[in-house]
Amino acid sequence: MIINKNELAAARTDFFSESRYDKAAKFYEQAIEAEPNVVTYYWYLGLAYLLQGQEEEAQTTWLLPMYQGTVEEVEKWNEELVKVLDAEATRQASIANLKNSWLIRQHIREIAPSLDNNLLLLMNLSLALGYLTPELMKDRQVTEMLRYRNQIISKGYQFSEDWFSGNVPIWTYYLSRYVNMPEIKALEIGSWEGMSTCYLLDNILTHDTARLTCLDIWSPQPVPAIALDEKDVRYFSTYDRNYFKSVEDRFDANINKTKAQYKVKKMVGLSQNLVRLLPLNYYDFIHIDGSHIASDVLGDAVLAWGCLVVGGIMIFDDYYFTFSTPGLNTKIGIDGFLTAFKHKIKILHEGVQIIIEKMSD
């Protein structure tokens, strides 16, 4: 059997997307026979077994190459395996197959127990499926998440998207230094409906004198003037002006529900223009979650850097956000900034979000 790239892509997309896991398993069994050293085949073969209910076979398959790897290789392969499983768990959830998504996430949890995001997604799935186990309940992160969910319900916030709650455990940890501190100043670039904003007001910026500047365009962002891949054309036109109006209305309504609206300064417009108007050496922490285009993120970071006090914290969201058009991925912008400012920053956290501390001007 000679494996070519097209066949591989077809096996991944067709067999898995059409739930033909037996066919996927057959394909990868043959692929391994032909090329036993290609470790990715084992990840997909195990996944195909898992989705057919053969959990033990799945685990054995994933372990097979690991026995022969060096410590560094095993570490790298574990990461690869988690990525493969995570992508399938996300896909299964997107087609409302929550049980499969849950099953895969349980296995990710065994491979990478401290992966915050997986744990939180697992908890959300467990809640949706009514599976919340005492073991899961004991988890500190899970209890934080539950507390946060209750907060959303009890305050009556309205959110159409949740792009934030997965960050609650790390925010709770890294921003604890600012809780109820007087005079703390925060800046948020990209507030949408105010999920992260409300979290900050309810949990971190709780002192009467704390202040938060929220900056958002609240209308469709400018589309890069380059030849865009079809998928990205769709991405940039997902929400029209009317929808953004409703997003901004929900932001206003949610902020009012915090009863801390007096702490919030709202600025409407492009971050590229507005951050230039903000005071230098002023903010204790800055959340960058506006445009995800590499050059915009880099621009936000560089401009916001001057506004951050030494010792302050900068949080970048969506480090792994990808576009289909080459050169736009968020990571490119964040990495560019991290590389150039390497000697002036300390990286506190690396994950879906990157959290840094400003060590010097």
Ligand X SMILES: C[S@@+](CC[C@H](N)C(=O)[O-])C[C@H]1O[C@@H](n2cnc3c(N)ncnc32)[C@H](O)[C@@H]1O
Binding site for ligand X (CB under 6 A): 163-164, 190-193, 195-196, 216-218, 221, 270-272, 289-291, 296
Q: Which residues pair with 315 in a beta bridge?
A: 287, 355
CB of 216 to ligand X, least distance (A): 5
Q: Name which of 41 and 316 has its Cβ closer to ligand X.
A: 316
Closest residue to ligand X using C-beta atoms: 190
Neighbours of 26 (CB within 10 A): 15
- In the complex with ligand X, the residue whose CB is nearer, 217 or 313, is 217
* CB neighbour list of residue 269: distance below 8 Å, 6 or more residues apart: 215, 217
Kindly state the smallest distance separating residue 138's Cβ from ligand X, in Å. 28
Q: For the CB of residue 167, give the shortest distance to ligand X in the complex, in Å.
A: 8
* Cβ proximity to ligand X, 187 vs 356, nearer residue: 187
The rounded distance, in Å, linking the Cα atoms of 291 and 279 is 21
Please say which residue, 148 or 218, places its beta carbon nearer to ligand X. 218
Nearest to 34 by CA among 58, 10, 62, 8: 8
Residue 242: DSSP 8-state:
H
For ligand X, give the closer residue by CB, 88 or 300: 300
What is the distance, to the nearest Å, from the Cα of residue 346 to the centroid of all Cα atoms in its chain?
A: 21
Tally: H helices and E strands in the chain: 17, 7
Nearer Cβ to ligand X (45/210): 210
Find the Cα–Cα–Cα–Cα dihedral 286, 291, 294, 296, rounded to 10°. Answer: -80
Smallest distance, ligand X to C-beta of residue 105, A: 22
Residue 190 or 312 having the CB closest to ligand X = 190
Nearer to ligand X, 119 or 217 (CB): 217
Residue 196 or 329 with smaller CB distance to ligand X: 196
- In the sheet with 185-189, reading across from the earlier edge strand, the strands are 264-268, 211-216, 185-189, 283-288, 308-316, 354-358, 345-350
Cα–Cα distance measured from residue 39 to residue 300, given in angstroms and rounded to the nearest whole number: 39
Per-residue 3-state assignment (H helix, E strand, C coil) for 5-36: HHHHHHHHHHHHHCCCHHHHHHHHHHHHHHCC
Is 133 or 242 the residue whose CB approaches ligand X more closely? 242
- The alpha carbon of 38 is separated from its chain's Cα centroid by a whole number of angstroms, namely 29
From residue 188, give the alpha-carbon distance in Å to each of 167, 259, 282, 355. Answer: 15, 19, 13, 14
Cβ–Cβ < 8 Å for 50, 58: yes
- Which residues, listed in sequence order, are joined to residue 187 by a DSSP beta bridge? 213, 286
* Shortest Cβ 87–ligand X spacing (Å): 20
- Residue 198 tokens read as 């409300």
CB-hemisphere CA count at 13 Å for 335?
A: 10
CB of 271 to ligand X, least distance (A): 4
